[in-house]
Amino acid sequence: MASPKIKLKLLIDTKAKKVLYAESGKDFVDFLIYILTLPVATVVKVLKEKSLVGSLGHLYESLENLPESYLQPNQNKKSLLSPRPPIYATEIPLVLADYDLTNRKSYMCYSGHNSVADVPDLKCGVLQCGCRMTRELTYVPPSPANTGVPVEGGFLKGLVNYIVMDNLEVIPMSSKHVVTLLNKFNVKDVGAIEEIVVDFSVEEGLKLLKLSLECKTVLTNFYLGSVGTNTAVDVGGGFVKGLLTYIVMDNLEFMPVSANNFVTLLNKLNVKDLSTLEEIVVD
C-alpha cells in the first residue's frame, strides 16, 4: 500500500537560496502538531534507524540494555521505551509511530471501585479493598463516530490554508501576512521568488523531525541543503533503583558502577596516568 502524501507549496528566494515559507492545508500543520504530542522516547525510537544526532540515542540504547532487575518494581521497561502518546486525534494522514490505541488496555479490580491502572496485577487504590487489579478495560479513543460532533479530524479546522515558516512557526494564511513576511525577509526582487509544489510523505516526515531537532532553518535545509545546525538536548530520569551508583558517560550512555566497568572505561578512554584524574562534586 502506497504511503499517503501531502502537497506543499514552497516559496523560494532563488537569490538568497532559502525557503521563505511553505503554504499548506491543515493536513501538514496537523502533522507538525502531532510531532509535538510524541513522547521523547518515541521520537528517539522512530529516528534510531536514521542515525539520530546527539546523545539521546545512546541514552535510549542504555535503557534497552539495562537489566529489568535495576528498575523500580512499579516501572516497566517497555512502557519507558514505547510510551503512550498523551494526546490523540483521528484521521491524521501521516503518522510516524504505529499507535493502535484500540489495543490500549487499563485495569481495575473486580469489586468495581473507581481505581484504574495502566499495568495489571496492582493492588486496588481503595484501602479497604486490597484486591488485585486484573479486570481488563478497553480504551475507546475519541472519534466523530462516538462523540456525536461533526469534526474533520486532526487538530485544526480546515477554514484556511496555513503558512509554515522555515523554522516551523505556523500562522493562518492571509494577504496581510504574506506582505508582512516579504518585507520581513527584505525581498527586493520579486522576480527572484519561485513557487514550487512538492509531495510530503512519511519518509520526508522522519527527515523533517530529525532536522527540527538540529536547526532553525528546517525547510531550507530539507529542500535546498544544509546551512548549519544548532543542536541542544536536555534529558532527565528517575526510574532506576538507588541500590548502587551509576556511571554516566559524556554521551549520556550509562551503566552500573563496578570495578570491571571502571577499568574497562579507563582503557577505552586511553587513560595512562591516573594522577591526572580529578574528582569534583557539583550540584
Q: What is the DSSP code string of 163-224?
A: EEETT--EEE--HHHHHHHHHHTT---GGGEEEEEEEE-HHHHHHHHHHHTT-S-HHHHHHH
Q: What is the pLDDT of residue 106?
A: 82
Q: What is the pLDDT of residue 232?
A: 33
Give the whole-angstrom CA distance, residue 257 versus residue 261. 6
Q: What is the pLDDT of residue 219?
A: 94
Give the whole-angstrom CA distance, residue 280 versus residue 283. 10
Angle at CA 200, nearest 5°, toward 197 and 202?
175
* Cell numbers found for residue 15: 537569490
Q: What is the pLDDT of residue 168?
A: 94
Q: What is the pLDDT of residue 101?
A: 55
Q: What is the pLDDT of residue 237?
A: 42
What single string gives the DSSP state of each residue in 96-147?
A: SS---GGG-EEEE-TT--S--BSSTTEEPSSTTT--EE-EEEE-----HHHH
What single string gives the DSSP state of each residue in 221-240?
A: HHHH---------------B
Tens place of pLDDT per residue across the chain (283 aa): 456 888 999 999 988 889 999 999 999 998 898 888 888 888 888 887 666 556 788 888 899 999 988 888 878 788 888 887 666 666 677 777 655 555 667 888 888 888 888 778 888 877 778 888 888 887 776 666 766 666 677 788 888 889 999 999 999 988 778 878 878 888 777 778 888 999 998 888 888 988 888 889 999 999 987 543 333 333 334 555 555 577 888 888 888 765 556 667 777 888 766 667 777 888 8
pTM of the model: 0.71
Give the whole-angstrom CA distance, residue 207 versus residue 221. 10
**β-strand partners of 165:** 21
Q: How far is CA 249 from the centre of its chain?
A: 23
Q: What is the pLDDT of residue 100?
A: 52
Q: What is the pLDDT of residue 217?
A: 92
φ/ψ (deg, to 5) at 53: -75, 140
Q: What is the pLDDT of residue 234?
A: 33
